[in-house]
Structure 1
């Protein structure tokens, strides 16, 4: 077996301190500019200090307290365990820093999304704004009445034990649309939620992101198609670049490692994330992207630092008590993009797969975490990068 001992589900990368610096930059930026609007108001709330002392508090309780105290609407992704126990102390620290500490414990990140603070896997944090922009593209030529049905902000309330598929039907029905591919949304039961006014299409994007799904309305707005997220998530835009600015523009593109360029030098087409396009437009105009855009971009960049970290760099600190082994491993695989394989000697019906396990790890690497989880069940593993083969000892 490759590796040291196993850890828990607090997936923190050594790059998280850099992400935290982005959060703190945002806090100061918004205070300085006093920006307005749904997203900027959320960002301003993140700059406000808060004092907390949490000892083994369930995550859902911690987020509720944090939201109530700072007047924030928080959306916790379904892939983040709401029952995970949080121990955290902060004295007069920016709320943004508290979110960063929570993310450090759980392998998550947080970004503003149209007035909501989304808390979930770092990869989704990086993709969310671009997914929303891609969903809007088919409606660009639709009549104003059709666009209004999908894009006019409305309060959104979800009852306790709501089913996401039914919530999606309600959003589509209000927009006078039918759904194609709703069978891709698995059954689930959700807690009660009350969100600020959001465009129904943004609500659909937020709802589906937790299932690694995206949506695309038809040009007439009458069909909402559900489909798996097509990665890498990026949006194409053509630019007109004066010869006098071509060098600066090319340098700005080169600074975006995941952006691609094609076409004529004076009218290139750039495929990149939404916040990357904001930077490119700023480079062309010679102006700042503005406080809100810069702040949002900084937060997503911080999430990108976490999402892009190597498995070998990750360190985990968590406590697991009497949880089914398979459920814990599957959650870990989802959040870290691992491929789990079980030895033929451990069939799907084997009791070894569902034994209740408990472990406590601190700053353990991935191999240490896996060993800590598997050892109580009499199992071990061999790992080659993201592929994990589980077998009996």
Structure 2
């Protein structure tokens, strides 16, 4: 499960008064920048408001923690499929996973469409990319053209999107799901084109009383992150899944390339959500992640925050004690703002200190703040 990138990416982020979609953009971008072999993007539940204002303060936490802290107050959750993070209501995630179709043979495409693209044009571009051909029209003219064989597809205007190394059937499934539709497993992707304006045989409308997707079962692989607690990590995942699916099946093993322990879980969508939530909650603490030598990405966006409060975050993330000398106490209340990416905690601390006209000494166990020498 390549979503381990969310537990391994370490970020420091302070967001105040930003919209949910802006915040998620930043977190996913950080995960993507730290995962060169697996770029990430995200797909939103169409029934949630991306403009909701959120706040998030996390110093040296994992991207998994950041996503959980961001989405939970909104009643949303996040769930990764290869290259795409699903964000929305728990039931929407379950329905999306339950109706997700994968390509019969491994296939991955890169695809991009601009803001304002018509839904039929977006689906047309997916089909063309899967066939190895450029889209025939629509995107260049703002998506106004109805694409051949897709007149049956409902009309909408979609935001900009960019996908890299994503299964084309996953994207087609997400597109269909926007209108309460799903395709049957094993369907060739090009069967989504119809000879007339009627719904293709391969596609079905999912009625409000149709809940077969709840019991759709599929296999996903979960890495056991911490080798010191392999057994407990394995047991926690099993307990969490069995609490919602007593008939779930499990198989332990090791990744053939890395030899790291993995747990293969066969369950329905709610079972997989339970497994992921447990794994993300049990991810190593930030200090453990740093000590383990994993790639850490530090990001900071803040506006008018007391320098003392920000420096305390940095010191805590580095497992150090913050000591502010008496004569620097008043100046440490200076309000600071910053927009920085890919900097170490020490570099960020020095930037904050400069703004507040303070001096920071970044020691092995103590971060000391004093007035600069005149």
TM-score (norm 1): 0.46
TM-score (norm 2): 0.48
Quick check: which one's helix share is greater? 1
Q: Give the structure, 1 or 2, with the largest relative contact order (CA under 8 Å, sep 6 or more).
A: 1
Please tell me whether Structure 1 or Structure 2 has the larger radius of gyration of its CA atoms: 2
